[in-house]
Amino acid sequence: MRYIDARALKKAMIDKDIKTVAELEEKSGVNRNTLAGILKGEGTPSYETITGLADALALDGETTGRIFFALELA
């Protein structure tokens, strides 16, 4: 099963000195309600959401994949 690595996403925010959901919303163009769910590790973000966040956080492809397509080990 795949899941969002919300912890890694929050670390990426810290690394880019993005302190609030509102700031991330402004930089990424992703709605704050969507962001709130993603930061809780919920839902399945669309391609547009993933690319918006990856661009805003300057994530490379490998990091983006690790965050949004992480494997949950049972």
Q: What is the pLDDT of residues 13-63, one digit of tens each?
A: 999 999 999 999 999 999 999 999 999 988 889 999 999 999 999 999 999
pLDDT for 11: 96
What whole-number distance in Å separates Cα of residue 3 and Cα of residue 38?
A: 10
What is the value of pTM for the model shown? 0.89
